[in-house]
Amino acid sequence: MSSYIKKVAIVGVRNYTFYTASELQTNNINKKATGNMGKHTITELQKGNNHSITVLTRKGSNLSLSPSINILEVDYESLENLTSALAGQDLLMITLAVNTPPHVHSNLISAAGSAGVKYIIPNAYGFDFHNEGINADVPFGKMAQNYFPDIESKGMIHFSLICGFWYEWSLGLPWCYGIDIASRKAIFYDDGMTKMNTSTWIQCGKTIATLISLPEKELEAKYKNRSLHVSSFRLSQREMLDSLHRVLGTKDEDWEISYENTKERYQQGMQDMKNGDPTGFSKAMYARVFYPDGSGDYESSKGLDNEDLGLPHEDLDEATKRAVEMVNSGWNPFAA
């Protein structure tokens, strides 16, 4: 008889007010269940209805989720408090904002170990954090690598997600994929033809939900202490702009297109970061992963787990349309 993960704790689910019209229409999203990784994972887990979900949140966050989700206010500084909150959970998924102090992650791992949690999904959802070249150049690049020994030393098992940059997020923020939808400006990195893997939030949520719905024996045999490589699309900035043309009904002539060398853009981003520009980090990170050396194309170098997990093929223009709707609605993930 197979056993399955039943009790899932998720830490870091933001109260977030943005939904695209198509999300509301097609995905039957609970308007109150919000966030980025957290929101989409919860949406997909609820479709399966196989898990009891507990969300851990800071005291006073006033998190409001669907009634079937148990919300526990915790003190991220108290190991005792976190341990008692995690007692009885099978899996802890950590999805914390990038500016969360690093010791919060360590506290959660320690508490999960003390509480007897078996599985951890650490806070790493992006570029290939096993790529030593990227890790050497991107600030905090090695952070994900450090989570694994921490988890294993406490007798727990981890599964981590390499999904590339989030597609809608990165297309919606001009300093990421270099495309400013609102002002119709595009900066192509090098010649704009370098391909990289990128994933939609929906695909990321589906990945986690599918993974943790596997029978434990299969889950461990295939994925124990492994990083999953998934991707919605492998594409270049040129292909992103072509998709935008189809969605917006525009042509290159309607856009101001310029070019920047990725190495120079990386250096500029690092300098901007030192000067206190909050976009400097992302600018440097995206430029580095776009180096024309295959850094961002882990599909070609390592292959994908999409098929093994039975993830659906997605429509690029639908995803592009969601990014356009986000921008048109005034989406700002950095708003308070």
**Least distance to ligand NAP, CB of residue 143, Å:** 9
> Which CB, 95 or 131, lies closer to ligand NAP?
95
**Least distance to ligand NAP, CB of residue 124, Å:** 6
* DSSP code at position 127: S
Strand order in the sheet with 233-235: 165-166, 196-199, 233-235
Hey, is 168 helix, strand or coil? helix
> Which CB, 75 or 293, lies closer to ligand NAP?
75
Q: Which residue is listed with tokens 């096993």? A: 130
**Least distance to ligand NAP, CB of residue 249, Å:** 27
Please, is 158 exposed, middle or buried when counting C-beta atoms within 10 Å of its C-beta (0-12, 13-18, 19+)? buried
**Least distance to ligand NAP, CB of residue 215, Å:** 28
Q: Where are the alpha helices (DSSP H) in the chain?
A: 21-26, 37-48, 79-86, 103-115, 132-137, 143-153, 167-172, 174-177, 201-211, 216-223, 237-248, 262-274, 280-289, 298-302, 306-309, 316-328
> Which CB, 39 or 51, lies closer to ligand NAP?
39
One DSSP character per residue, 39-80 reads HHHHHHHHHHT--EEEEEEETT------TTSEEEEE-TT-HH
Distance CA 65, CA 59 (A): 15
> Which CB, 104 or 219, lies closer to ligand NAP?
104
> Which CB, 121 or 244, lies closer to ligand NAP?
121
**Least distance to ligand NAP, CB of residue 242, Å:** 21
> Which CB, 15 or 27, lies closer to ligand NAP?
15
Do 121 and 149 form a contact (C-beta atoms < 8 A)?
A: no
Q: State the residues that interact with ligand NAP by CB under 6 A.
A: 12-14, 35-38, 57-58, 61, 63, 95-100, 123-126, 165-166, 169-170
**Least distance to ligand NAP, CB of residue 96, Å:** 4
**Least distance to ligand NAP, CB of residue 145, Å:** 13
Hey, is 147 helix, strand or coil? helix
Nearest residue to 167 (alpha-carbon basis) of 46, 301, 334, 296: 296
> Which CB, 100 or 145, lies closer to ligand NAP?
100
